Structure 1
Amino acid sequence: MTEVEYRSRRQLLRVRGRSIAWVPPLLLLVGIVLVDFNTTERFRIISWIVLVPGTAAAICGVWTTAGYALLSVVTYVLADRAWPAEYQAGLADFVLVALGGVLATLVSAVRVRRERQTLHMRDIAETTRRTVLRPLPPNWAALEHAGVYLAADVDARVGGDFYDIQPGLHGTRVLVGDVQGKGLGAVETAAALLGTFREAGYHEADLATVAERLEVRMDRHRRHTTALGRDDADRFATAVLLGFREEDPATVELVNFGHEPPLAVGPHGVRALPSGDGLPLGCGDLVDDGPRVHRVPLDREETLLLVTDGVTEARDGAGEFYPLVREVARAVAADPRRAEPRRLVRRVRDGVLRHSGGRLGDDTTVFAVRRTVGEAPVRGRLRS
């Protein structure tokens, strides 16, 4: 059972904040007794009362289920004795009802324990997600932003996609990326890269130096995990590193580590920024040159849209990829206000889910950012 299904079921069993999970078993019990009394001796169904604790076991707590098990036994005895001796169900059905109540209580105990364990694991996953993808304040560091992360594994809730905004001494830096592979290894790699980005992005004056620090961190991380005996030697990460300088509001700096090219989305349409001419993080030893920094003009009304391959590789039932550029261009042409980060992210998210029928083949991240008007990053210590 997924979290959405679990929460939906819990909501259906509550009215004005109070649980009504005890109502369906009670209605079933009353219904069985009424039918048994209003039919002939040829259609005795009082033994069906064993279904009552079984139903309670699926939706009620342990003590409520145990109560229904006891109530079912008592009701069975009273209802059965109301019939003449020759028409009574007898000892065999009594044992069935009693044994069914005991088993239902045990099943309820196992179910409740497992639900608690599941919720505990989801709390751990949520804490991990908030550690890797930390919450970002609105309009953080003079940037208006919006982001959504959808894990392909709905129970894990966290994977190898990552994004962050880091204000610093030399402007604001943005990092969006995707670690190759899945599982805890990918999460660990994403956390390592984000930790380095948050420090280097704050202190380093040159965006190329930040990019080099990320490459070094990726190499160090792989060496460490390989030394531990884990098969991470070939792991890499694609990413886009952006730099917004206070003194140059009409330009954005960009380093692309083999990632999907960002899209500049504005009232005048959609254009792609430089594509992944650089190698992914973890492959820097294959070339002699360091990462290349592009300086790209960016209008204040333009929003930068960054996605991972969970968006561009989303397929419909016919196997067709999600047409990101076409859909975004169509949406902005119909309403230029859809270039606003929150609306843009919502539009892409809903489009991907609709196109794929809700079946995500990979972790999916949609992140949008643009400069706010009349605000600038604060150098040194940040405003609270």
Structure 2
Amino acid sequence: MSPGRADAPLVVVADQDGFTPAVPPDWMRWLPFAYVAFVLVLEATLQQEWAVSFFLIALPPIAAYAFGPVAVAAFTVFAILLEGFLAGVSYHLWETHHVTADIATAVVGILSTALAAHRTRQERSLVHANSVAEALMRALLRPVPHQVGHVLAASLYRPSEAGTMVGGDLFDIRATRGGERAIIGDVRGKGLQAVHTVAALLGSFREAAYEAHDLPSVAARLERRLAAEARETQDEELFATAVLIEYDSLSHRVTVTNHGHVEPVLISCGEVRVLSGPPALPLGLGGLAETGAPAVWHHRFTRGDILLLVTDGLVEARDTDGDFYPLVNRLRHRFADRPAPGPADVINFLNSDLPRHTRNLHDDVAMLAIAPHGAVRPAQ
């Protein structure tokens, strides 16, 4: 897996304790110094009867936005000394209102130092929680190898929330005796409960992919697992959309069953088209179907073809005008009437093209591209 991250607003660096504190933007770190310069300019331009040094009472809380407790305490001491200097220049150092301002600055500084210490502890807690969640998602969405059995593969997971990898999208591919079997899906809901459901579905798929004799049997195993998950969590509305595929290298054919998910896209001989077939209900809602096994359909899949599976976070990404990401049109613009690309070419293109369409993702994006194993030339 090549996890593509949305651009994060904060840069993170690690300290000696393994903690990765958030480093604020440069303008926020320069703000206390700019504020001091502003006070000095006022002092030089206004008449002496203005007690401009009183503005320095605000310096410690301004510093607390971007600095740790030690630095905030240093800014507090600096503010008190500068107040004293400015008052001494005008021979008002020991007047009661200046002494009161110094005391007020000290009190505000103590509170700001405590606030900075609390913010640092909160950052540690959040970083730890995000690290655990990210490690869990990386364990679930294991890296997709360049080659899996008789297919080449590439994948991407792009979270909607900057700096996190917690979501309800899933994908996997396995080489089995029945052929190369893959899944891409999207669990209803978000957060840790969605991650729990993703773990259940992926675990069930990784067992069923090797044991089930055909694709409908794999889907049936996933249906039962999701139904059990719904009972355990007492969530009667729990479901997941998914596409399951199976590639037979002998017949050069791919079998597909679509459970309410985004339809696969085929890039073949310079053409890009959506592969449509009989729909099936999302996993978890199979009990509502009038027939038993979900419908499956087949399509020829030969050397040079690319099958792209995505989640709805990609096709529902909107630009500033509210228009959805035109997946098929963008693929046609890039790959139509050109030499056959590889799976990584398609994934890399979408990963770079999507941010041009939308700056803020409202849903996670997952992609999985596969191609029959054989020599393919990189896209020009």
Q: With the length of structure 2 as denominator, give the TM-score of the two structures.
A: 0.81
**Equivalents in 1 of 2:119, 2:334: separation in Å?**
46
- Partner of residue 162 from structure 1, selected from 166, 170, 173: 170
**Equivalents in 2 of 1:257, 1:350: separation in Å?**
28
Question: Per-residue deviation at 1:121?
Answer: 2.1
Question: Per-residue deviation at 1:298?
Answer: 0.9
- Partner of residue 75 from structure 1, selected from 82, 87, 96: 82
**Equivalents in 1 of 2:317, 2:25: separation in Å?**
32
* CA 1:139–1:45: 2 relative to 1, 3 Å: farther
Question: Per-residue deviation at 1:297?
Answer: 0.8
- Are residue 6 (structure 1) and residue 24 (structure 2) matched? no
The match for 2:134 is 126
Please give the residue correspondences for 1:222-233 in structure 2 after superposition, counting only pairs within 5 Å: 222-225=230-233, 230=234, 232-233=235-236
Please give the residue correspondences for 1:98-177 in structure 2 after superposition, counting only pairs within 5 Å: 98-154=106-162, 157-177=165-185
The match for 1:306 is 309
- Are residue 294 (structure 1) and residue 297 (structure 2) matched? yes
**Equivalents in 1 of 2:313, 2:191: separation in Å?**
16
SS in 2 for 1:4: coil
For 1:61-100, what per-residue CA distance to the aligned partner results, in whole angstroms no more than 9, with x for missing partners?
Answer: 1112112212322333344224324996622222232222
Query: Conserved in 1, the CA contact under 8 Å of 2:174 and 2:182?
Result: yes
Q: CA RMSD in A?
A: 3.3
AA paired with 1:182? Answer: K
**Equivalents in 2 of 1:154, 1:320: separation in Å?**
22
Question: Per-residue deviation at 1:281?
Answer: 1.4
Question: Per-residue deviation at 1:101?
Answer: 1.4
Query: Conserved in 1, the CA contact under 8 Å of 2:245 and 2:254?
Result: yes
Please give the residue correspondences for 1:338-349 in structure 2 after superposition, counting only pairs within 5 Å: 339-349=341-351
Query: Conserved in 2, the CA contact under 8 Å of 1:240 and 1:259?
Result: yes
AA paired with 1:172? Answer: E
* CA 1:103–1:276: 2 relative to 1, 3 Å: farther
The match for 1:256 is 258
Give me the identity figure in percent. Answer: 31
- Partner of residue 328 from structure 1, selected from 331, 334, 337: 331
Query: Conserved in 1, the CA contact under 8 Å of 2:160 and 2:365?
Result: yes
The match for 1:284 is 286
Question: Per-residue deviation at 1:217?
Answer: 1.7
**Equivalents in 2 of 1:276, 1:161: separation in Å?**
23
Query: Conserved in 2, the CA contact under 8 Å of 1:36 and 1:45?
Result: yes
SS in 1 for 2:277: coil
For 1:6-46, what per-residue CA distance to the aligned partner results, in whole angstroms no more than 9, with x for missing partners?
Answer: 228727559xxxxx95x764575477458647875245422
Question: Per-residue deviation at 1:175?
Answer: 0.5
The match for 2:267 is 265
Question: Per-residue deviation at 1:374?
Answer: 6.9
Question: Per-residue deviation at 1:166?
Answer: 1.9
Matched length: 360
Which deviates more from structure 2 when the two are superposed, residues 80-89 or residues 250-259? 80-89
SS in 2 for 1:59: coil
Which deviates more from structure 2 when the two are superposed, residues 298-307 or residues 179-188? 179-188
